[in-house]
Structure 1
Amino acid sequence: MKISARNALKGKVKQVTPGAVNTEVVIEISPGVEIVSIITKSSGESLGIEVGKELYAIIKSTDVMVAVD
């Protein structure tokens, strides 16, 4: 796979929650560190997303917000 995005984080699917239209995918990129992605249900099915599968969380964004307490 070649992609221009700089932020491609390899991880494993920890949880999949399919809905009527979208699917929520929880990806563990290191022990205790998770990213949650909402993808279309059809994309989840065509990619064969299931618990334990290795994949990449690819982040392409023009804004990154920072907050403090």
Structure 2
Amino acid sequence: MKISASNQLKGAIVEIVKGATTAHVKLDVGGAIVTSAITNAADVELKLPVGQQAYAVVKASDMMIAID
């Protein structure tokens, strides 16, 4: 697969929590946990197992930084 998005975080799936319509997929990316909400249909289509390597692909027009 090739994709134009530059913000790709490679990690391992550590947990998948299925809800009524969405699945929350948690990736361990270098010790940090990143969570993505995908449709249950996408979860079934991708056949995601815990332990599989995957990418969190972030596509956004803006990203802000905040401090206290």
Matches within 5 A, 1:19-58: 19-30=19-30, 32-58=31-57
How many residues align? The count is 68
Q: TM-score, normalised by structure 2?
A: 0.92
Distance 2:66 2:15 in 1: 27
Give, in angstroms, the shift of residue 67 of structure 1: 1.3
- Measure, in 2, the Cα distance between the counterparts of 1:14 and 1:46: 18
Amino acid at match of 2:4: S
> What are structure 2's unaligned runs of at least 5 residues?
none
TM-score when normalising by structure 1: 0.91
Q: Deviations for 1:30-69, whole angstroms, at most 9, x for unmatched residues?
A: 1x21111000011011101121011111111001121112
Query: Structure 1 regions of 5+ residues with no counterpart?
Result: none
> After TM superposition, which residue ranges in structure 1, 4 or more long, deviate above 3 angstroms?
none
SS at match of 2:64: coil
Over the matched positions of the two proteins, sequence identity in percent amounts to: 38
Partner of 2:64: 65
